[in-house]
Chains A and B, each alone.
Chain A
Amino acid sequence: MIFNSLTFLVFFAIVMALHHAPFFSWHQKKINLLLASYLFYAAWNPPFVILLWISTVVDWWAAQWMVRAKRERTRKLWMLTSVCVNLGMLGYFKYGGFLLDNFVHVAGALGIIYHPPGWDIVLPVGISFYTFATLSYTLDVYLRRSAPAGSFLNYALFVTFFPHLVAGPIMRPTELVPQFEEPRRARANQIGFGLALLTLGLFQKVVLADGFLAPVVEAVYDAPNKAPGMLDSWVATLAFAGQIFCDFAGYSTSAIGVALCLGFAMPDNFRFPYGAVGFSDFWRRWHITLSSWLRDYLYIPLGGNRHGQGRTYMALMGTMLLGGLWHGANWTFVVWGGLHGTYLSVERWLRGRFKGFAPGRMSLLGLAVLTFILVNITWVFFRAKTFAGASVVLKGMAGLQAKPDPLIAAGPMVIAIVIVSAIFGTHLAMRNTTLEAVVERTPSVAIAGIWTLLLFAVIIEQGQGSAFIYFAF
């Protein structure tokens, strides 16, 4: 089920009614939420609920046995069991075909011709997200950062809770399980603000990402045998920057709003990322729950910055390469991660080299623009399905196409430029504040007017119920 669907509106209305009904006990309400969450997931592909159950049960027992274990080796064994089961399922469903293709290529290069049967496996929606969520539970228990959940129901609900289940924010058990321990019921203000956030998220997804930006991106990136020029390549890539932000941040904002309506708090996943100055700043603002997950469970265990410069750069690069692969089973995603790893490494070196540098206002603006441009170059590898496709767009961006084909009509191009400029300008203007602070100091009538326009735009855009891009990750 997706947030931008009529089915979800009906589902959400029923869940809200059950959750706020006075005649259910808190225990019963949690069971209702758990069943609703399974229904939410099964509405896309019912058999894959079994994967959720496997992940839930294995990690619950792994954590239980970990705390009961007297020997360190036994604890480690249970942690590794959890890691292997979770990454095994993720590897089989998400990376099986990719690994097989690469094996065939390598074998072919060695002169061994191998024709395996087709790897026709459907990717379970959101598997990357809930795998990371459940892994953080056993890893936190193993690292003694937190104790195991006291109740299986609370833990199962943490894994399955529908607002974050299929596309994040990637929640840690310590963020959510305590919220299930005591009765929670949203007050009118929470519900009102939650619905406003849901409207904002849907506007970003339905109107901006799907309605106006996606067609501009597709005109260039899905145009086989065409050679886009500089203008078309840059506009399409900028439009993709806007599309992926509105798509993913739209989902996160909707999820936060939905959870708030039920009385639960979910963490920020985006903080005006295109207003970032530098790449470490960018990754503190973009997909925060993933970047912090990778930092805590990959970068730090790989050594982090505790073992000298060389090891730090290796840990950084390794983390970003694997982070790239997390997004999709394709070498283009690895290159995307590698580029970000390179950016972060260069930035780290520059920070060490120019320690006393304190940029002024204009320098900050220039650095923010430079960061945005460099991030856009990485998006080419994220969006293009192949390296050949990426090189065509990069060639266009560099103005190297001998006979460029104009591909984007003027009207959609102007609209895309206006939207992306507005996004970039907003992020720059709000980089040191929060949406909540801005809303609080804006007159209520203005907020109500904007809310009305956003909701009306969502209604007349109607939407096509297309899935969020990150569902595929």
Chain B
Amino acid sequence: MHSSTSPSERGLTGTREGALPPGLRKTAADRPGQAQPVPTRDIPLKPWARMGALVVLAVAILTSAWEWTARTRLDLRAGDIDDSPQAWAEARRAADHAQVAIVGDSRILFDTDQGRFEALTGVRPVQVAHVGTNARTLLEHFANDPNFHGLLIVGMADTMYFGMPVIGLAGNAVHNYAKNDKPSQLTGLWLDRWLQNYLAFMDSDYRLSRWAPRLDTGWRKGPDSPYEDVWKINEVFPGRQYFMWGRIETDPYLRGHARHAWQGFKGPDIPPALADKVIARSAEAVRRIRARGGDVIFIRPPSAPELRVNEQHRIPRKRGWDGLLSGANAKGIHADDLPQAQNLVLPEWSHLSRACAAVFTDAYVRRLVELTPRLKLRAEAPPPLSRADCVPRNIASL
């Protein structure tokens, strides 16, 4: 296959050792209206092999130092495998034919100990809840899925469920669900998990571009600074098992920041008309799931008094939670009604500590089996847990 090449370029095609002198590095822009020749790639005269070896060594040292910092100074650990849209999509696919699936916002995500659930019932629920979202989005998503015939547990934070003006992050997850199962995404997910089982620094909350801007603690008046964002508060384990990050319980600065990020769940009161609309849509979703043999049970995990007072003010329990259960003709479990789940530890006010997640799960699962014939308490189920199993003695420091 011939091409037209200017005399000065002949002999300069392909690769060439040594940088070309100025003016000889032609591009297609210099050759209008002709077939383009094989391009020239000049290789700077350098000891590339030795330099490469030096770089590998230096990067290995720097990365090891960074890993050491992550483990010792930042308290990150290998095995905390992060969540991702692909991981959510994977769980969602698994939920299609699951006996029990959990949807909702971050509270039910943090506050459900899947191991405890399984130990009590013999069934491991598929966790499909999502942080920063309105649970109704996910409830309706399952209502539209003809494959799902199981029990759907819908966890909710009332202000998010009834008043969130936009559908939240689960909306993106649902929208991109079908796009997140491409072969390269699946292999990427597997490789990423494999590496995260060995490397602690691989944590999306401690990416270079995430922590560097956090130095800005609100320098400019008006826009939300990175300080206002929710920083790392969780660890994630296989099966999208979220738990409160231990450092939130032990580090007053990070705990204080996490509390600050919630801004007290303050906001305008939720208009009755909006709440009624949410209840009507929820009722329709519940009806559709039941019509094909599935069932729905709502759960309201606890929140600390500092948040609860605002939540209650914006959407009182009677109008929100009670209205939902009666409007949707559904059963539900409210944390207020579980004696074993009172005064548990919520380090940043919105989610339970890891130890208390097991206590809350224990409490709600024991109530759950009374509400539905789909789950039974195993004969060899462990004995009930209580507040004493998770509340540290120095609770006042939290």
Chain A residues contacting B55 (CB-CB under 8 Å) are 448, 451-452, 455
Which residues of chain B have a CB within 8 Å of any CB of chain A?
1-4, 13-15, 17-20, 22, 25, 27-52, 54-55, 58-59, 62-63, 66, 84, 182-185, 187-188, 191-192, 195, 201-202, 204, 207-209, 212-216, 218-226
Decide: B25 and A410 in contact? CB cutoff 8 A.
Answer: no
Chain B residues contacting A179 (CB-CB under 8 Å) are 14, 38
A271 interface contact, C-beta 8 A:
yes
Chain A residues contacting B50 (CB-CB under 8 Å) are 444
Chain B min CB distance to A395 (Å): 18
Chain A residues contacting B202 (CB-CB under 8 Å) are 462
Contact with B36, one of A196, A267, A413 (Cβ below 8 angstroms): A267
Decide: A149 and B1 in contact? CB cutoff 8 A.
Answer: yes
What 0/1 pattern do residues 207 to 228 of A give for CB contact below 8 A with B? 1001110010001000000000
Task: Say yes or no: A207-B28 contact (C-beta < 8 A), given A6-B188, A455-B59.
Answer: no
Contact with A444, one of B4, B18, B46, B63 (Cβ below 8 angstroms): B46
A359 interface contact, C-beta 8 A:
no
Q: Which residues in window 433-457 of A have CB below 8 A to B?
A: 433-434, 436-437, 439-440, 444, 447-449, 451-452, 455-457
Decide: B38 and A300 in contact? CB cutoff 8 A.
Answer: no
A98 interface contact, C-beta 8 A:
no
Task: Say yes or no: A195-B52 contact (C-beta < 8 A), given A265-B41, A406-B222.
Answer: yes
Decide: B220 and A413 in contact? CB cutoff 8 A.
Answer: yes
Whole-angstrom CA separation of A461 from B204 in the bound complex:
8
Whole-angstrom CA separation of A150 from B1 in the bound complex:
7
A152 interface contact, C-beta 8 A:
no
Whole-angstrom CA separation of A79 from B192 in the bound complex:
47
Chain A residues contacting B213 (CB-CB under 8 Å) are 409, 411-412, 415
A408 interface contact, C-beta 8 A:
yes
Q: A177-B1, A436-B42, A461-B209 are in contact. List 19 more A-B contacts (CB 8 A).
A: A7-B184, A192-B46, A196-B52, A267-B28, A284-B30, A285-B29, A296-B33, A300-B32, A406-B220, A411-B214, A434-B19, A434-B20, A436-B25, A439-B19, A439-B44, A440-B44, A451-B55, A452-B55, A460-B208
Chain B residues contacting A409 (CB-CB under 8 Å) are 213, 216, 218-220, 223-226
Chain A residues contacting B36 (CB-CB under 8 Å) are 172, 174-175, 267, 292
Decide: B38 and A265 in contact? CB cutoff 8 A.
Answer: yes
Count chain B CB atoms within 10 A of each CB in A150, A173, A178 and give the residue with the most.
Answer: A178
Chain A residues contacting B4 (CB-CB under 8 Å) are 145
Decide: B35 and A196 in contact? CB cutoff 8 A.
Answer: no
A146 interface contact, C-beta 8 A:
yes
Closest to A212 in B: B209
Chain A min CB distance to B21 (Å): 8
Chain A residues contacting B30 (CB-CB under 8 Å) are 284
Decide: B48 and A196 in contact? CB cutoff 8 A.
Answer: yes
Chain A residues contacting B52 (CB-CB under 8 Å) are 192, 195-196
Residue pairs across A and B with CB atoms within 8 Å: the count is: 249
Chain A residues contacting B226 (CB-CB under 8 Å) are 409, 411-412
- Which of A16-24, A43-51, A54-62, A341-349 sits within the interface? A43-51
Whole-angstrom CA separation of A147 from B46 in the bound complex:
38
Whole-angstrom CA separation of A145 from B58 in the bound complex:
49
Decide: B45 and A440 in contact? CB cutoff 8 A.
Answer: yes
Name 24 A/B residue pairs within 8 A (Cβ), A-sorted: A7-B187, A44-B183, A174-B2, A174-B36, A178-B3, A181-B1, A189-B43, A190-B43, A196-B52, A207-B209, A211-B207, A219-B223, A256-B41, A265-B38, A265-B41, A283-B29, A288-B28, A411-B225, A415-B213, A432-B22, A448-B51, A448-B54, A456-B63, A459-B63
A295 interface contact, C-beta 8 A:
yes
Whole-angstrom CA separation of A179 from B3 in the bound complex:
12
Chain A residues contacting B188 (CB-CB under 8 Å) are 5-7, 465
Decide: B20 and A406 in contact? CB cutoff 8 A.
Answer: no
Chain A residues contacting B185 (CB-CB under 8 Å) are 465
Decide: A190 and B20 in contact? CB cutoff 8 A.
Answer: no
Decide: B15 and A260 in contact? CB cutoff 8 A.
Answer: yes
Closest to A289 in B: B28
Chain B residues contacting A145 (CB-CB under 8 Å) are 3-4, 34-35
Task: Say yes or no: A436-B20 contact (C-beta < 8 A), given A146-B35, A284-B29.
Answer: yes
Decide: B48 and A188 in contact? CB cutoff 8 A.
Answer: yes
Whole-angstrom CA separation of A422 from B107 in the bound complex:
44
Decide: A174 and B223 in contact? CB cutoff 8 A.
Answer: no
Decide: B208 and A189 in contact? CB cutoff 8 A.
Answer: no
A42 interface contact, C-beta 8 A:
yes
Q: Which residues in window 353-372 of A have CB below 8 A to B?
A: none
Decide: A461 and B44 in contact? CB cutoff 8 A.
Answer: no
Chain A residues contacting B47 (CB-CB under 8 Å) are 444
Whole-angstrom CA separation of A43 from B187 in the bound complex:
9
A407 interface contact, C-beta 8 A:
yes
Closest to A413 in B: B220
Closest to A465 in B: B188
Chain B min CB distance to A259 (Å): 8
